[in-house]
Chain A
């Protein structure tokens, strides 16, 4: 059972454009939502994260928008650069659990020069 649904599966944008990746969840017990970036041959690395009591969080060119009532959250990458080309995973953590990450299936982002 996929607990975190992510879309699109792949995304191509031009340099300078905005990349938007969406995720949705069902379990309201999730209370922490990180985004991870993974380059080929590397492990995932934390990019940015949000708690459900906040509707938006911005760090540099990366912004998370969170809609608690809709149980949806999204990652926006402003001024996308070729170096942003990677696979992005949204994830969720259950309150009171073992803090294991529940990942979406990933979005492969390609930023063309």
Chain B
């Protein structure tokens, strides 16, 4: 595809349910990022992959959050036992690689998660 795609676009979950959010990065992009954007706030970093290696997961808020990118392409963010405070837009971004500092990150449209 031409850009980063995410699915589903909207997800409603009951508190305690597990959810899985998918990200398809731009083809050939080495780096992949997940961000969480609460309503009316800026995105906050969750985790970073370089190919299949998860190099930074310092932003994951709890051990209920888990991300993977097993083949270095598609990534899945999983949230176990969802809580109301998990309600947010989850953004995925990809960049070509670590060729230089400040390489452009291209964002997907996000998945809006609502936990009831």
Contacts and interface: CB of A to CB of B under 8 A. Distances in A.
Given A43-B4, A45-B107, A101-B43, 13 more contacts: A36-B107, A44-B107, A45-B106, A46-B104, A51-B102, A89-B43, A93-B102, A98-B56, A100-B56, A101-B105, A104-B42, A105-B42, A106-B41
B104 to A, nearest CB: 5
Query: Interface size for chain A: under 10, 10 to 19, 20 to 34, or 35 or more residues?
Result: 20 to 34
Interface string B28-52: 0001010100001111110010000
Interface string B74-116: 0000000000000000010101001001111111111000000
A31 interface: yes
A55 interface: no
Contact of A99 (B59, B103, B106, B108): B103
A58 to B, nearest CB: 18
Contacts of B91: 43-44
A67 to B, nearest CB: 19
A99 B95 contact: yes
A34 B102 contact: yes
Interface residues of B, number: 28
B2 interface: no
Nearest to B9: A41
Interface string A45-58: 11001010000000
Contact of A43 (B56, B95, B101, B110): B110
A43 B102 contact: no
Given A43-B4, A103-B42, A98 B48 contact: yes
A99 B91 CA distance: 16
Nearest to B92: A43
23 contacts: A6-B42, A32-B101, A41-B109, A43-B91, A43-B93, A43-B108, A43-B109, A43-B110, A44-B43, A49-B102, A89-B42, A89-B43, A91-B42, A93-B101, A99-B95, A99-B101, A99-B102, A100-B59, A101-B43, A104-B42, A105-B41, A106-B41, A106-B42
